[in-house]
Amino acid sequence: MSMEHKQRQIEATLRLAPVVPVVVIDDVKAAVPMARALVAGGIPAIEVTLRTAAALEAIRAIAAEVEGAIVGVGTVLSAKDLHAAEQAGARFAVSPGVSPHLLAAADDSNLPLLPGAATASEVMALLERGYRFQKFFPAVPAGGAKLLSAWASPLPQVHFCPTGGISLISAPEFLMLPNVLCVGGSWLTPADKLKNADWEGIEQLAREASALCG
């Protein structure tokens, strides 16, 4: 698959809703009902991070059983992570930053990558490789909406999904920027709601997120 095709796929995914939930899941049994709650609330693109032993099985279950879900993988650090996620049925991959080995693996993979960048130099280096869509991480500690706004004029070709420290309250500040397509956030699937199987609560959080605008 060409880089241009993968970029179009990433763009389509990022435009599905104002927020991509960043999910840390410990129990595979929670994956399907959680994803159904998010989709019911208007949030179809779901990033399951590779921070737990349950992550790949959760991705596999969501991909197989949840109609309307576009499940992706987060915290991708290596070629091994990328391959395992693709085998599990992930539709997109997200990395906190990049390395030469990861970018080489992404070139050879059909799984579209949303690479992380935190400086103008990193954004430019990724743009040279064809990445017009990038993750700005960690968004708030790295400079927040003010930094992204400053990049909009000199780097208009690049659009971002800022992630890291963003909440329901602060999300509109990012979403109003011309170079932001959506934000990533962990507040849609808090650990207590996952542990207590509060799927109605997660659906409500998703509804609030899907109603966001800049």
Cα–Cα distance, 94 to 77 (Å, whole number)? 9
Given a contact cutoff of 8 angstroms between Cβ atoms, the answer to whether 183 and 161 are in contact is yes
Given a contact cutoff of 8 angstroms between Cβ atoms, the answer to whether 39 and 68 are in contact is yes
Which residues are annotated as catalytic? 47, 135
Cα–Cα distance, 141 to 47 (Å, whole number)? 21
List the beta strands (DSSP E) in 12-147: 19-23, 45-49, 70-74, 92-94, 113-114, 116-117, 133-136
Would residue 108 be called left, alpha or beta, if left means φ above 0 and alpha means ψ between -120 and 50 degrees? alpha
Please, which residues bridge with residue 133 across strands? 159
Alpha-carbon separation of residue 211 from 104, 155, 206 (angstroms): 37, 28, 9
CA 9 to chain centre: 13
